[in-house]
Amino acid sequence: MGNLNIKHYAYNAFIIQHDDIKVVIDPGRNLYWTKFNSLIPKTEWEGITHVLVTHGDPDHFAYAPSIAKKAGAKVICEKELEDVFLSDGVKDVHKITAGGVIDFEGLKVEGLNTCHGPLNVKLGCGLLETKNVLVNRNQGGHAIYVASFKITEKKYRITVRNHGTLKFLFGLIRLEKDNIDFARGSVGYKITIGGRTVVNLGDTILQKGWESLKPDVLMIPIGGNIYKNTMGEKEALEAIKRIEPKVVIPCHYNNGFLWRKHMNKADDENFKREVEKLGITCLIMTYKDEITI
């Protein structure tokens, strides 16, 4: 069976390695203003064999095409992101959906049902405010407002997947637009490698269909206590009861966003205590931490 080596690079960026297979999950961009670069150091790019992306937000996706091209890696993503990789010159792209399975030599990847939660962020006491939500309708477009006056609007028939609102100067100027760069191609993964299973859920709120996955390792977001784009600690504990993992690694919390040093705040030590009350091991990993399973 051999050892499974796991490295964490903040947000939802992980490297899982067994023998010659080196899998990177969500190689995105650090969104803190002093570290606006790749979460996965370039020293790690060499030897990556597979790139898995849970969705297209920049903190999960930004460096995925570059790494895939540099390393000649196979890419696994939801169909909505396939064209992005292909247009960027990545050739070996494999589409997956919830319930789908892709088998490689020494690596099996199963798609899991996930759903990105809404992201509402107010910065500078209201100088800048964003609100992004998932929607489902067949008419979309964009509109620009100054105060309550609509300056311009365009509507057309399209499949709308999400809606974004951007406000400036306490709402004096407002832009509303459909199909923005938010939560594209959301999917979770159950990865079988080296005789062990690892589940990574990306950014998601609590979903049905996770019952009895029973992985060796579960990577789960816990930072949705204030901003509801992912599960918070309470929802993550409920998910753990359904999934029944052996080991839990909490992620996507206390990370930087622009000039805020800690977004998606969570108390990882308290979360660890609550997980261990369930008789499950909980490992807290910070940037560049490495464990062997």
Are 77 and 128 part of one and the same domain?
no
As a whole number of Å, the CA-based R_g of the chain is 19
Are 88 and 210 part of one and the same domain?
yes
Are 63 and 10 part of one and the same domain?
yes
Are 9 and 68 part of one and the same domain?
yes
Residues above pLDDT 70, as percent of the chain: 96
Q: How many domains does the chain have?
A: 2
Judged against a pLDDT cut of 90, whether residue 284 lies above it is answered with: yes
Are 141 and 49 part of one and the same domain?
no
Domain that holds residue 159: 119-178
Judged against a pLDDT cut of 70, whether residue 259 lies above it is answered with: no
Are 271 and 157 part of one and the same domain?
no
Q: What is the pLDDT of residue 74?
A: 97
The closest of 25, 21, 23 to 10, measured between CA atoms, is 25
Are 73 and 197 part of one and the same domain?
yes
Are 140 and 195 part of one and the same domain?
no
Are 192 and 174 part of one and the same domain?
no
Looking at residue 57, which CATH number applies to its domain?
3.60.15.10
Q: pTM of the prediction?
A: 0.92
Mean pLDDT for 73-97 is: 94
Are 209 and 284 part of one and the same domain?
yes
Count of Cβ atoms closer than 10 Å to residue 277 Cβ = 9
Contact status, residue 58 vs residue 119, Cβ threshold 8 Å: no
Contact status, residue 220 vs residue 274, Cβ threshold 8 Å: no
Q: How far apart are the first and last CA of the chain?
A: 11
Q: What is the pLDDT of residue 122?
A: 82
Residue 39 CA: distances (Å) to CA of 13, 61, 63: 7, 10, 8
Contact status, residue 280 vs residue 245, Cβ threshold 8 Å: yes
